[in-house]
Amino acid sequence: MSNKVYGYLPDETPKPLELIFFALQQIVVMFPATVLVALMTGFNVSTTIFASGLATLVFIFVTGRKIPLYYGSSFSYITAICSITMGTTYQHLSMNERISIAQFGIMMSGFVSIIAGLIIRKYGKRLIDRVLPPSVTGSIAIIIGLSLAASAMGNAITIPKGMEATGFATNMAWVISLVTLFSTIFYSVYLRGRLSQLPILFGLLTGYLTAVVIHLATGIPFINLHTVPGALLQLPIFTLPKPTWSAVLAIMPIAIATIPESTAHIFQLHIYVNDLAKKRGVNRYYDLENRLGQNLIGDGIGDIVSSAIGGPAGTNYGENISAMAISKVFSVNVLVLAAGITMVISSFTPLVNAVYSIPPAVIGGLSIYLFGVIAAQGIAIIIEKQVDMFSARNLAVIAVILIIGLGGTFQFPNSEIPIFGQKMPAIATAALVGIVLNLVLSLGRRGDPQVVAPEQ
């Protein structure tokens, strides 16, 4: 049996047919969450999809095609955006007018990320290590993955709308999700050669085929190819930002709390890309972790571009990083094509319906695996960076982040922690508390490293 390691590094391009399949795989994993944000905030779905692709292209261009990350809608901003689109203050306005007001707040939040990126580029790795050490970024990656566990399990048992929630229908949803989950795991573990790079797409197709068979055999309509009515081609609805200070005050501060998330993502990529390079015997070091400043600048510009046309705030997607880690395909050109196809999908009704026809149970099966991998990547950061787990300081920081992030997510409605008359997003709160706690506990302890010195 051949022990050859297959995979593509950021500056490599797969063959044309492979390129298309890898791009489709990336679209599959980002689509559900991106659409869900639009549905929850009231933003136009087709516009959100288009903005996701456009912001990704801009991000890749701004970062010099060096960072393979896909840009999708961020969950961290949902509460702040909904305070404008769903609140009572602007209920006398049409939804598109409310979206325009929220757009301005999102656009201003992009400047926060850009300023943070410029500061990090100026002061470099020393500032990152002090403010965002691996004990913080690793823990944040863990809670991001685990906080999505309920969503994955909920999707896994979702039956078609309008169906009575019978035990039989729910059991059929479980069959679809479990077939999807275990077939994806099977493909990722046992496929060899080039096929080993498409486990998620193969798992989705297996789950989808299972849903089709169950649909035909039982009559339960798991497959619906007519979700979005309309003409063959329909351009997204583009809206312009409307300057409003209330939107700035509501949305702009959230950008500060999302910086640790972007840091965790770039650290994850750094580890997995260089591990692939090492296993393939490529004599090149991809210094991605020192591109955090560039990454944040790209994030900010991505938010500005997305909000300029009516899209929500975004972030680099952990789901896409998981897909890359599983398939070992980190090619930037794959993401470029995925972004282009996404923009086409947003305007082509049959393609939109094809994507929408993927049953939630299939998405649930994939999500159980993908969200778990996001959490596992957080553990990988802690291990790779050799965080001293016998340090009381590190244990305190990690413990507080995990409990606030996960406890806040599962204990309170909408994952918002009620505190002093305010409601704070759980993950953002955990990140901020972890950062502050680490800085406070680091005062006067310059000689106390967070990581274990490697053995000589």
Residue 267 within any structural domain of the chain: yes
Q: DSSP 3-state assignment of 387?
A: strand
CA distances from 306 to 102, 238, 300, 382 (A): 12, 10, 10, 33
Assigned token pair, 90: 């602007």
Residues of the chain with pLDDT under 50: 1, 453-456
pLDDT at 1: 44
Count Cβ neighbours within 10 Å for each residue of 445-456 and write b for 16 or more, e otherwise.
eeeeebbeeeee
Does 327 map to a domain? yes
Domain, as residue range, for 353: 16-222+255-442
Query: According to the model, what pLDDT value does residue 296 have?
Result: 92
Dist. CA 403–CA 437, nearest whole Å: 14
Predicted confidence at residue 452, as pLDDT, reads 55
Q: Is residue 368 part of a domain?
A: yes
Helix, strand or coil for residue 356?
helix
The alpha carbon of 397 is separated from its chain's Cα centroid by a whole number of angstroms, namely: 24
Whole-prediction pTM: 0.77
Does the residue 73 lie in any domain? yes
Kind plus residue range of the DSSP H or E element containing 417: strand 416-419
Residue 45 is predicted with a pLDDT of 84
Phi-psi sector, 420: left (phi>0), alpha (psi -120 to 50), beta: left
Tens of pLDDT, residues 216-270: 999 999 988 877 777 778 888 899 999 988 888 778 877 876 788 788 889 889 9
How many residues can be counted in the chain?
456
In the chain, how many domains are there?
1
Give the separation between CA 48 and CA 71, rounded to whole angstroms: 11
Specify the pLDDT at position 456: 41
Does residue 11 lie in a domain region?
A: no
Query: Is residue 232, in this structure, part of any structural domain at all?
Result: no
What DSSP line would sit under 272-291, residue for residue? HHHHHHHHHT-------GGG
Q: Alpha-carbon distance 388 to 396, whole Å?
A: 12
Query: Could you tell me if residue 455 is inside a domain?
Result: no
pLDDT at 79: 67
Q: What is the pLDDT of residue 40?
A: 67
